[in-house]
Structure 1
Amino acid sequence: MALKEGDFVPDFSAKTQDGEVFNWSEYKGKAIVIYFYPKDNTPGCTTQACGFRDEYQDFKDLGAEVIGVSGDSEASHEKFAEKYRIPFVLLSDGEKKIRKLFGVPTNLFGLIPGRVTYVVDANGVIRMVFDSMKAKDHIQKAKEMLEQIK
């Protein structure tokens, strides 16, 4: 069952692009934009990651952290983050555990992992779920919701 607006995000852990262990519980108390994307180094995903990168200071100013999630390996994330100077955490979800936890759907007859952004407030409550394959739209939608809840 998919997480929806008003739900609390349950605790989970994963590996970051640096091989560190990320624990969701350590981010409680601050707003989080967590976005799921299909694959590193593809046109839409690069556009989306670079969009979040370019607006990253705006997200920080709104009191939020940005986290990207895909099924790519830590090594792939590390190269992707270095190549495009991604300043935020990328989580490796090769077994799709986080994707399943959130209930992120697949697109194109189940062939492509979905592109969904969640805005979570400082209490751990999902305030927005934005499901669209249009990569550029996610950044502005997330910022608008953060401005509303600030």
Structure 2
Amino acid sequence: MAKTPEAGTTAPDFTLPGLVLGSDGEVTRGSYTLSEQRGNPLVLVFYPGDDTAVCTKQLCSYTSDLDRFKDLGATVWGISPQDLDSHEAFARKYDLGFPLLADTDRAVAKAYGIAIMGLGLRRSVFILDADGSVSWKHVALAGLTFQNTDTLTQQLSSIAGRA
């Protein structure tokens, strides 16, 4: 398995299928390629499963605070091993406001060094700067808690301070 990318290194590129729930309730499906997001910060949120207690709390929290991320020029992507149909049901149930990407074979989780054999992945957040480099990361050991918006926006603010 690959090692987790360190701060200052370029994040492993990937393309995954994903979807986003629009404000009108329409779902747009498409491909999401990391290298095409350069130019603005990106928050990659790896979460173990749709519609599970901690993941639901985490993603609902980020959706509620989405304007705080946008105010810092950042986009948020959620990534988990479930398929797009599962993601769509999850997004609709909780009105999630950012793209959910399907890493069904866990290839991206493996590339980021967060896959757990037979279990899925470690709850993790990677904040990438506008150049696609890892600026900050948090990889949970147990995944029973998550990084709150205050922590993430503080890290995003530090990127803006360096630009």
Aligned equivalent of 2:113 = 103
Aligned equivalent of 2:9 = 7
CA contact (8 A) 2:12 2:112 kept: no
- Residue 82 (structure 1) aligned to one of 89, 92, 95: 92
- Higher deviation after alignment, 42-51 or 124-133: 124-133
Q: Distance in 2 between matches of 1:110 and 1:129?
A: 23
- RMSD of aligned Cα (Å): 1.6
Residue type at the aligned position of 1:111: L
Aligned equivalent of 2:25 = none
Paired residue secondary structure (1:19): strand
Q: Distance in 2 between matches of 1:110 and 1:145?
A: 32
Q: Distance in 2 between matches of 1:16 and 1:36?
A: 13
2:52 pairs with 1:42: yes
- Residue 119 (structure 1) aligned to one of 127, 141, 157: 127
Aligned equivalent of 1:64 = 74
Paired residue secondary structure (1:87): coil
TM-score of the pair, normalised by structure 2 = 0.84
The higher radius of gyration belongs to: 2
Identical amino acids, percent of aligned pairs: 32
Tell me: CA distance 1:81–1:137, structure 2 relative to 1, closer, same or farther (3 Å). Answer: same
Paired residue secondary structure (1:40): coil
Cα deviation, residue 135, structure 1: 3.5
Paired residue secondary structure (1:76): helix
- Residue 130 (structure 1) aligned to one of 132, 135, 138: 138
Q: How many corresponding residue pairs?
A: 148
Residue type at the aligned position of 2:103: D
Cα deviation, residue 144, structure 1: 1.2
**Which structure 1 segments of 5+ residues have no match?**
none
TM-score of the pair, normalised by structure 1 = 0.91
Paired residue secondary structure (2:89): helix
Tell me: CA distance 1:119–1:148, structure 2 relative to 1, closer, same or farther (3 Å). Answer: same
Residue type at the aligned position of 2:156: L
Cα deviation, residue 10, structure 1: 2.9
